[in-house]
Structure formats: C-alpha cells, structure tokens
C-alpha cells in the first residue's frame, strides 16, 4: 500500500475549511441594524432599549474604547425557510482568536429579558427550530467596545488601559449581521471530522487505529458532493459511524470535564466590565444547560454571583434555578480567586468565610474544594486555612507555568506549615481553558505524572480569562470522546465528584511539604506599590475596627458595626483578586483601587474613632490621653488589645544621642543599639550593645539603595527575570546628610539622594527603649523599566531564613544547591524576615512591602559569611500600565539586631499597628489576653450571627508547641472551638476555669474560640 496519509490529512483540512464549515449556514439574509451609543458609562437596560437608533451597516466603524453601544437588529424569516432551524449570526467585528479579550455583547428581547452573550467563539442566537415563515425577528444587543490590550505583539505599552487616556477612535467594524438557516447535519459532520482528525494526529503513525480513522475519513470525504454538501452530509456521516463507535481501551485515562469560564474579576478590563462579562457568560451557560442534559458548569468567586444578583437579577434567577438542579455548580468557596501569597492571615481566612457563607446562604451549598486555577503560587499557611474553613480539596493549574522545574505530581497531599494536609490536583491538561481539542486531551494523558497509580484528572472546559465559557462545539466533542478508541474517556462531572473518585483511587498519594512556589510572575510581589500599601493598611484597619468595635460593644454598649464591617471586608477581599493586589491590571483598575482604599480607610478610621471615644471616657481636667494598643503584644505598659491612661505609662529606659562620626557621618545610640552612618549616608555598623555583636558584614553597608534594569522577556508587570541582577547601580550619591532629631527620646539622621529622574529621602531613627533601627523611605519615582531595592548585608551564617506567611512562617534556603532553590530568587514575606545563628539573630520588618531576595557569600579575608537580604521597593514596567508607580511613595522598615523569632513576630506587628491616642481618662481591659507571647491573637470580634458572643482567633507563632491560658475580659459563660465560619466543632472541647480557657496548640496551629458572655 502506498503511503498517502499526508495527502488525506491535507485534503481533510481544506475540505473542512472551504466547503463543509461554510455549509453549516447554507442560506442567509441580512438584518437591518440600528445603533445608539451611550454617552458615558453603561446605562440601565431599560434606558438602552428605549434610546433612539441611527442606521449602521456592515463594515461601518463603531465603538470607542470602553464604550457601550446598543444595537437593534430586525428582519423577517423568509417563507421558504418554514420548518427549518434559523439562527441570527451577529458578528460585532470579532477576532476569533481573542475570546474574552475584545468586544462582547449581551442579547436582549424587547421586554428586557437577557437571551445570551456574544463573543468571538459564540456569535449565534437561536431564533426558532422549526421556524415559521414570515416570523418577525427583533433583538437588542448591549455591545461593549472593550479595546484589545494584549494584542498579537503582546506587552507593548498602550494608553488604552485607562478611559482617560484611551481616546475615542472606533475600535471595531460591524461584520456579519444575518438571519441564517442552521444545518444541524452539516454541523454534526464538522464535529465528527474535527474530533477524528484531531485524534488521528495524536496517534502513532504505525498504529492500526490511526489508519482505520484515516480510511474512514477518506470514505467520508469521497461521499461528499462538494457542490452540494448539505444534501450529502448524512452520507458522509454514515461512513464515520464505525470508527466513532469503537470503544476506548479499558485502561484509558479518565477525564472529568467541567464547564468553566475563568473570569478575572479585573485585569485588562475594569471591575465594572467584569460585572457585564459575568452576566454574558452566565446567560450563555444557563441557556446551554437547558439544551444539553449531560453538561455541568462550574463558576467560582462569590463576588461574581453577588454582582449578577445586584445588576442582572433576571440572569441570576436562571443561575439559581440551575444551581438548585445541580447543573450550575458554585466552586471554590472564596469571595474571589485571590492572590494567596500577600493577603494577611485574617484576610485569607475571610476569603473563605465570606465566600462559603454566600454560597450557603444563597444556594444551600457548602464547597469542599478550593478552586484557584490561575493564582500565582500558594503560601504554606493555606492548607490549614482551607481545612479550618471546612474544605478538604484544592485545584490549581498555574504551577505548570513554572519556568525551571516541572512539578513532580498531578495528584498529591499538600502539607502546610502546621502539618495540615489537603488533597490537591493539578489538571495535566495544563490549561483552565480546555476546548476539547484532541491535542489537549492527548497532552493530558501523556503529561499525567501519576500513571500506574491513578487514572483520573479534571479538565476545566471553556473560554476563560475574559469569560465566554463552554460552547456547544465543546460539548459535542466531549460526547464523542465519552468512549472512543485511542482517546481518554471524557465525562461531564462536578468538581466534588471528580475529587471523590480521585481520592478513592489514590488514597495515599505523594506528599509535598511547604509553599507551592510559582517559578514565574515573581515581580507581582512589588508592582503597583500603592495597591499593596492600600491592601496592608486596610487589613490593619479592619483588625483595629473589629477589635475596638467589639470592645466598645461589650464595655460600653456601643452598637457593633456589623453591616459596615461586612461590606468593607468584601471590598478589601475583592481587591485581593490575583490581578489586582499583584499589580498586573490596567491603569484604570489600580487608579480606582487607590480611591477605593482611601474611602475604606476613612470608613474604618471612623469606626475605630467612634469605638475608642466611647471607651476612653471624658478627658480629665489635665487633658489626659488614653493610649490604645491594637497589637497582640504588650507595648510600653499598655496591654495587648487594651488601653491605658497616658500618665500611667512608665518612661522608656535609656537615652538617645546622635553625634559626629570620626570618619564622617554620624553615630546614633540609645543604650541598646549603636548605629554608625557613614559620610555617604549608609549604615556601616549596627552593634547590639547587650552582646557586643556587630550586625553589618565587614566592609559592607546596609540600607543601600540599588537600581537594576528591569525588562523581562515577557509579562512586564508580572515578571522579573534572573538576568536583572547582572547589572546593578549602587545609589551612593549624596545630596544631603543631616541630623533630623536629637532628643533624649529620639535620635535620627536624614539622607537625601538623587538618581536618574528620581529622588529618595530616608530617615534613620533610634527611639528610647526600642532595640531597632527604624528606616523611613520616601521616593519620588520617575524611572522607567527599573527595579529599586534596599540591601542589608548581615554578618550572619545560616543556610536558611524565616519569612512570615499566614498564621506563622516558613523557612527558605539561603543557598542555591539545586535548581528548585535557585529558582526562588524573589520571594514573599508578610511583616518580617528573620535570620539566625544559634543564640543570636536579626529581623527585618516591614509595614507594606512583600518582595525580597536573599543571597549569601563567603568573605575570603576572614571566611565569614555575609547573608544579604534586599527588600524590593519599586518597579516601573510599562505593560499593562505604562505609568506604573510613577510619583511619590513612602515605605517603612526596621532592622532589629539581636532578635529571636519571637522578637520578629512582635516587631512586625508593632510596625504595622502603631498606638493611637484619644483624649480621655479611662483604662480599657482587653477582651482576651493570652498568657504566653508565642500565642498571638489574630482577631477579636463579635460573632457574625449577632448572638453577642465574642470570637477570638489565635495561633502559635514560633513553630513550637504552646500551652497557655486565654483570659476573657468579661464574665465567661462558656467557650467552644469553632471553624473559621464560627460554627462549633463537634468533639473538640476546651477546658474552662472561671473566666479562663486552657489551650494547647501544635506548631503554627490556628484556633478559633467562641466565648459566650455570662
């Protein structure tokens, strides 16, 4: 037999493209189209429907960036089409390769009822099946002219990402606007041939199955009359029946397909556009569920459900109905698919509290899985949070993007810092936008790393990122792949069904311990500094607002701000979405976030002020102040979570001095630290006077600002590539070095530098009684494609260091023995990093930065080790926001010599939660006091069910076991152990003695207690 395989395969491609696909719609007539463009932001549906229309024709330009146009299409079904299936084909000017990234539309009937969404892969609207001749057609389309930000030449700077700079040039030209006959038989033939052609391409050439398919395809092509495809399509399909009916091998891999449309809650579009993206996609998916009985669709992010509930109630009603039927599945149980590296302990917990509670309240559904397909790495504290929220599974896909190391498992136990294990799955299809193509299914089979032990994987199926969801073509392909020789078996299943099967067949998978570090997108720890500072400030203010509102409710009877705190938490959680907090969204998103954070700060400050004034009581005649301490550790005589009259405070020990240094510069001393600042304004010595130990490495200088070029190979706002380190400029040029403060309480010097088009002013401060050097930095930043860091070379030998994460800390190596360690050249911390030799350590604490790097060198002269930590301050990528971080920024850090891990924890909280002073004359006892400093109070609040119970969350902070007492600052009627949703845990009891609760904690264990008041 001569080998004509390539000839037949090429024939299939051409005949499909040029004859069969065009025959799906054999007859068509044009529709009449009118348009009205809203003058500003999107308008209510009723207003858009009622607005006057002007004629517009196919080929005409429409749609300024971020605009909304209302189209009306009208026509009549020709009499000769009676009894046939008729659809409207509405092409707004789509590029088929960009679903979710360009213009989109939502179709309405004249009464305002939404029909379905329009996107590049879903341009049809069913009119009738069968149609009646002469039937009038009238549809309205709310069309969004969202500009293309990520174009074919990606990452080019563009001003289209902000409505104020995008201009008004039309972005699109109206394309096909027709009524057309839909030929179901031809459409099915297309799917048959696509499935077989794609499968054939993945099979070994020497295998019989490939040739069986090839000959069946050849016979089908022979059966088609290219001049009359519609009349011969059935005959062609008949030639394919046998090869489509051949069953899969018994050992075939099992793929659980689940309909999906990963919709970024903001990214290359603003939040307001996501509201409409969700409405379009869910309108499509609920319609598809009605047509396809086997189909199952899942959507995460409670925020997105809340949006359509508020803005598109008609669509939401359809969603609720489909959820009740078990076909539309709420997934994930989080408020949004958040970043998990940077959110605080409480914020990460509240993502699940608010997400799961919404799904339970709205749908009666409690999720067992966390669903985070696109998040940029996973902190080591997350498994415990998932388990404490009542869930037990995790899905993500993003780790497959790692640049260097291929993750060794697809199904495994993920063990967090406290020992909690979560059953975790990475879909081997390596995408959350599976479209049921043969190459995707075959890749999943080949790629699956757990062969021989497991055979189940999941495939989130549908167009995502910008929405769109599953298409009828994907469903038709999945139907053919249910039991097809040469392919994996594909079946639509809910995530919980998949996880149950996967865990049952693989009950003892391998274990991965610690963080799931993504070897990519490391710069998201630094980009858009104002967004990150707004997040941190909001988290801290929420802690304060809950603490003092609860204290004022118990102590003074002040009404607790339930509604306000609930709403503000949801706002802050929304902005932790994995393209907002990481700084990878368009300019519009981040400018809006900055305004939102300012409003949040105003509201929370008002709640704090109201509560503290109620607690402080009237000021004495002498004008006394009450000092409030929100931190979880006592401070200057003020108990943790309590307040004291200012006159009762003991004076801080020691006395601060600042004077000239012989070699130039200044020496600062407070009796605990002696810090030398040289003539260039750099810290060249920091001596712990208790031990005489020098902190700074010999011949090195700390608080050294360093500037790198920063032009990654792609993903500008997301990535920093390792080669950035090859070029560095030490910023040692000095404009001014002066004494900023010289009092017994404070010694400070101010350093001013200019570089490029920017300026930095740093204030270095010692305070009486504080064994730390405070470092305040203000940068007026006007660089482009640069990376600014501050370096601290420490005279300290260690092969690992601690970085704070949720409810504890994790250790990372300081060396690069393996490719896994070398890949972690930029990493995340919350409030501190800590370095330690036996008996002596150093902490660097931060009020708002997250990214850092650590390197180590050995000095030839004395063979001592220099361990250098550098905090990442600012970047200047030009995509997707060409003005990223331009302007003035303020950062606060502190260097803490002689610090143990407990000191790092304490100072980290102290720098983030400064004391507040309020006129008054009252002492305020804490609502909850723990007996040991290693146990940290993470939250004090009133129970969400408004019972008046006090909820206290604590955790062991040092990585050891703890046995302590929690004292309630009120008459205690009882105490229960709860989950994060404040539901008592059956079988988990604590011993209560009077107003005290006896507590034992394992390393890094978090514990939520519900305290009932007598």
* E strand or H helix at 512: strand 511-513
Q: 278: which 2 tokens?
A: 């969700």
CA distance 462 to 434: 6
**Phi, psi for residue 309 in degrees, rounded to 5:** -60, -40
Contact of 332 with 300, CB cutoff 8 Å: yes
Q: 490: which 2 tokens?
A: 């594909």
What is the 3-state composition of the chain as percent helix, strand, coil, each rounded to the nearest 5?
Answer: 30, 30, 40
Contact of 764 with 696, CB cutoff 8 Å: no
Q: 56: which 2 tokens?
A: 């517009």
CA distance 349 to 356: 11
Kindly state the DSSP code that residue 949 receives in the 8-state scheme: P
Question: Which of 810, 140, 150 shows the shortest CA–CA distance to 465?
Answer: 150
Q: 248: which 2 tokens?
A: 């899969």
Kindly state the DSSP code that residue 18 receives in the 8-state scheme: I
CA distance 707 to 789: 6
Q: What is the pLDDT of residues 510-543, one digit of tens each?
A: 999 999 999 999 999 999 999 999 999 999 999 9
Q: What is the pLDDT of residue 652?
A: 55
Q: 372: which 2 tokens?
A: 């985070």
Question: Which of 601, 523, 518, 589 shows the shortest CA–CA distance to 265?
Answer: 589
Query: Half-sphere exposure (CA, 13 Å, Cβ side) for 145?
Result: 29
Average pLDDT over residues 779-793: 98
Q: How many CB atoms lie within 10 A of CB 231?
A: 13
SS3 361: helix
How would residue 357 be classed by pLDDT, with cut points 50, 70 and 90?
very high
pLDDT(868) > 90: yes
Q: What is the pLDDT of residue 426?
A: 98
Look over the chain and give the mean of its residue pLDDT values, rounded to a whole number. Answer: 97
Lay out the sheet containing 86-90: strands in order across: 28-30, 177-181, 86-90, 124-128
Contact of 179 with 132, CB cutoff 8 Å: no
Torsion angle, alpha carbons of 413, 415, 416, 422, to 10: 30
Q: What is the pLDDT of residues 117-142, one digit of tens each?
A: 999 999 999 999 999 999 999 999 99
* E strand or H helix at 565: helix 562-574
Q: What is the pLDDT of residues 287-331, one digit of tens each?
A: 999 999 999 999 999 999 999 999 999 999 999 999 999 999 999
Q: What angle do CA 791, 792, 794 make, to 5 degrees?
A: 145
CA distance 565 to 550: 11
Q: What is the pLDDT of residue 619?
A: 76
pLDDT(70) > 60: yes
Contacts of 16 (CB under 8 A, 6+ apart): 190, 193, 194, 197
Contact of 951 with 648, CB cutoff 8 Å: no
Average pLDDT over residues 988-1012: 96
The owner of tokens 């000092």 is: 627
SS3 464: coil
pTM for the full predicted model: 0.97
**Phi, psi for residue 744 in degrees, rounded to 5:** -60, -25
Q: What is the pLDDT of residues 974-983, one digit of tens each?
A: 999 999 999 9
Average pLDDT over residues 33-38: 98
Q: What is the pLDDT of residues 465-498, one digit of tens each?
A: 999 999 999 999 999 999 999 999 999 999 999 9
Q: What is the pLDDT of residues 744-762, one digit of tens each?
A: 999 999 999 999 999 999 9
Q: What is the pLDDT of residue 1?
A: 63
Query: Half-sphere exposure (CA, 13 Å, Cβ side) for 405?
Result: 14
Q: What is the pLDDT of residues 295-305, one digit of tens each?
A: 999 999 999 99
Question: Following DSSP, what letter does each residue of 92-133 receive, concatenated?
Answer: SS--TT-TTSS-EEEEE-TTS-EEEEEBTTB-EEEEESSPPT
Q: What is the pLDDT of residues 549-606, one digit of tens each?
A: 999 999 999 999 999 999 999 999 999 999 999 999 999 999 999 999 999 999 999 9
CA distance 693 to 796: 10
CA distance 285 to 530: 37
The owner of tokens 């034992």 is: 1000
Per DSSP bridges, beta strands 950-956 and 1006-1013 are antiparallel
Q: How many CB atoms lie within 10 A of CB 971?
A: 10
CA distance 127 to 138: 10
pLDDT(213) > 70: yes
Kindly state the DSSP code that residue 641 receives in the 8-state scheme: T
pLDDT(689) > 90: yes
Average pLDDT over residues 719-736: 98
Q: 982: which 2 tokens?
A: 């404040």
Question: Which of 859, 863, 812, 806 shows the shortest CA–CA distance to 834?
Answer: 812
The owner of tokens 């959820």 is: 323
Q: What is the pLDDT of residue 654?
A: 76
- Indicate the burial class of 152 (C-beta count within 10 angstroms; 0-12, 13-18, 19 or more): exposed
How would residue 622 be classed by pLDDT, with cut points 50, 70 and 90?
confident
Q: 502: which 2 tokens?
A: 């996967």
Per DSSP bridges, beta strands 67-76 and 136-145 are antiparallel
CA distance 166 to 591: 15
Contact of 931 with 996, CB cutoff 8 Å: no
CA distance 596 to 576: 13
Q: What is the pLDDT of residues 397-451, one digit of tens each?
A: 999 999 999 999 999 999 999 999 999 999 999 999 999 999 999 999 999 999 9
SS3 499: helix
CA distance 795 to 789: 19
How would residue 647 be classed by pLDDT, with cut points 50, 70 and 90?
low
Q: What is the pLDDT of residue 651?
A: 53
Average pLDDT over residues 333-351: 98
What are the residue numbers of the active site?
Answer: 374
The owner of tokens 């690992």 is: 800
CA distance 574 to 593: 10
SS3 1012: strand
Average pLDDT over residues 768-777: 97
* E strand or H helix at 981: none
């Amino acid at each position: 037999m001569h080998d004509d395989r390539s000839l037949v395969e090429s024939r299939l491609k051409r005949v499909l493209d040029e004859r069969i696909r065009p025959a799906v719609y054999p007859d068509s007539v044009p529709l009449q189209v009118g348009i009205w463009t809203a003058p500003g932001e999107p308008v209510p549906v009723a207003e858009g429907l009622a607005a006057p229309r002007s004629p517009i024709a196919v080929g005409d330009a429409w749609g300024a960036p971020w605009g909304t146009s209302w189209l009306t299409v009208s026509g009549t079904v020709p009499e000769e089409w009676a009894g046939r299936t008729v659809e409207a084909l509405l092409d707004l000017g789509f590029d088929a390769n960009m679903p979710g990234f360009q213009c989109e539309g939502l179709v309405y009937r004249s009464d305002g009822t939404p029909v379905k969404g329009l996107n590049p892969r879903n341009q049809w609207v069913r009119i009738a099946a069968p149609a009646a001749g002469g039937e009038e057609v009238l549809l309205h389309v709310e069309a969004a002219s969202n500009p293309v930000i990520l174009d074919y030449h990606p990452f080019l700077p563009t001003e289209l990402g902000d409505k104020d700079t995008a201009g008004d040039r039309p972005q699109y030209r109206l394309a096909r606007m027709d009524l057309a006959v839909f030929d179901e038989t031809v459409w099915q033939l297309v799917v048959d041939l696509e499935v077989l052609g794609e499968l054939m391409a993945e099979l070994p050439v020497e295998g019989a199955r490939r040739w069986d398919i090839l000959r069946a395809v050849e016979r089908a092509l022979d059966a088609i009359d290219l001049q009359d495809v519609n009349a011969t399509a059935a005959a062609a399909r008949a030639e394919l029946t046998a090869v489509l009916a051949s069953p899969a091998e018994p050992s075939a891999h099992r793929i659980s397909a689940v309909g999906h449309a990963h919709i970024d809650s903001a990214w290359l579009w603003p939040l307001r556009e996501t509201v409409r993206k969700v409405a379009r996609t869910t309108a499509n998916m609920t319609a598809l569920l009605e047509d396809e009985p086997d189909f199952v669709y899942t959507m995460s992010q409670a925020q997105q459900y809340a949006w359509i509930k508020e803005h598109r109630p008609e669509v939401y009603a359809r969603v609720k109905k489909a959820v009740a039927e078990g076909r539309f599945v709420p997934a994930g149980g989080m408020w949004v698919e958040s970043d998990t590296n940077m959110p605080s302990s409480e914020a990460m917990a509240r993502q699940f509290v608010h997400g799961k509670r919404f799904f339970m309240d709205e749908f009666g559904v409690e999720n067992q899985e966390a669903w985070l397909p696109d998040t940029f790495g996973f902190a080591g504290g997350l498994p415990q949070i998932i388990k404490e929220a009542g869930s037990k599974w995790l899905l993500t896909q993003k780790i497959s993007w790692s640049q260097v190391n291929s993750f060794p498992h697809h199904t495994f136990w993920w063990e967090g810092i406290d020992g909690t294990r979560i059953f975790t799955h990475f879909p081997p299809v390596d995408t959350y936008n599976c479209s049921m193509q043969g190459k995707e299914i075959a890749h999943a089979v080949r790629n699956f790393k757990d062969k021989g032990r497991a055979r189940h994987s999941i495939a989130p199926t549908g167009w995502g990122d910008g929405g769109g969801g599953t298409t009828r073509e994907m469903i038709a392909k999945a139907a053919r792949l249910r039991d097809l020789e040469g392919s994996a078996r594909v079946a639509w299943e809910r995530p919980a069904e998949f996880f149950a099967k996967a865990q049952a067949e693989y009950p003892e998978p391998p274990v991965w311990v610690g963080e799931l570090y993504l070897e990519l997108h490391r710069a998201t720890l630094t980009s858009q500094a104002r967004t990150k500072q707004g997040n941190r400030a909001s988290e801290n203010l929420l802690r304060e607002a809950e603490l003092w509102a609860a204290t004022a409710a118990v102590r003074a009877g002040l009404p607790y701000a339930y509604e306000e705190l609930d709403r503000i938490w949801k706002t802050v959680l929304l902005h932790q979405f994995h393209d907002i907090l990481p700084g990878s969204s368009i300019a519009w998103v981040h400018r809006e976030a900055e305004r939102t954070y300012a409003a949040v700060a105003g509201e929370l400050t008002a709640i704090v002020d109201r509560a503290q004034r109620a607690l402080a009581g009237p000021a004495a005649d002498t004008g006394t102040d009450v000092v409030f301490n929100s931190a979880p550790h006592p401070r200057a005589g003020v108990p943790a979570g309590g307040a004291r009259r200012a006159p009762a405070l003991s004076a801080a020990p020691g006395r601060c001095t600042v004077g000239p240094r012989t070699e130039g510069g200044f020496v600062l001393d407070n009796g605990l630290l002696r810090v030398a600042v040289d003539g260039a304004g750099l810290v060249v010595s920091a001596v712990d006077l208790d031990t005489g130990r020098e902190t700074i490495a010999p011949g090195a200088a700390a608080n050294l600002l360093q500037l790198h070029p920063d032009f990654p190979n792609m993903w500008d706002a997301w990535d920093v590539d390792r080669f950035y380190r090859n070029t560095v400029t030490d910023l040692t040029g000095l404009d001014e070095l002066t004494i900023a403060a010289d009092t017994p309480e404070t010694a400070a010097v101010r350093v001013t530098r200019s570089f490029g088009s920017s300026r930095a002013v740093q204030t270095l401060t010692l305070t009486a009684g504080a064994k730390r050097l405070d470092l305040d930095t203000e940068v007026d930043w006007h660089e482009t494609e640069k990376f600014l860091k501050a370096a601290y070379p420490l005279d300290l030998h260690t092969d690992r260091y601690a970085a704070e994460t949720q409810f504890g800390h994790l250790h990372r190596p300081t060396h690069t023995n393996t490719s896994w360690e070398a890949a972690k050249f930029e990493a995340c911390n919350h409030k501190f990093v800590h370095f330690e030799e036996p008996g002596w350590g150093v902490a660097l604490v931060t009020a708002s930065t997250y990214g850092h790097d650590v390197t180590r060198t050995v000095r030839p002269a004395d063979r001592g080790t220099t361990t250098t930590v550098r905090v990442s301050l600012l970047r200047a990528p030009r995509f997707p926001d060409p003005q990223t971080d331009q302007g003035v920024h303020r950062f606060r850090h502190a260097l803490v010599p002689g610090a143990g891990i407990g000191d790092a924890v304490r100072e980290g909280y102290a720098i983030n939660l400064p004391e507040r002073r309020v006129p008054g004359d009252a002492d305020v006892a804490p609502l909850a006091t723990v007996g040991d400093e290693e146990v940290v109070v993470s939250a004090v609040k009133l129970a969400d069910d408004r019972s008046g119970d006090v909820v206290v969350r604590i955790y062991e902070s040092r990585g050891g076991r703890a046995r302590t007492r929690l004292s309630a600052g009120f008459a205690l009627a009882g105490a229960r152990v709860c989950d994060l949703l404040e539901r008592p845990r059956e079988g988990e009891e604590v011993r209560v003695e009077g107003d005290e609760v006896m507590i034992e904690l394992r390393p890094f264990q978090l514990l939520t207690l519900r305290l009932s008041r007598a």
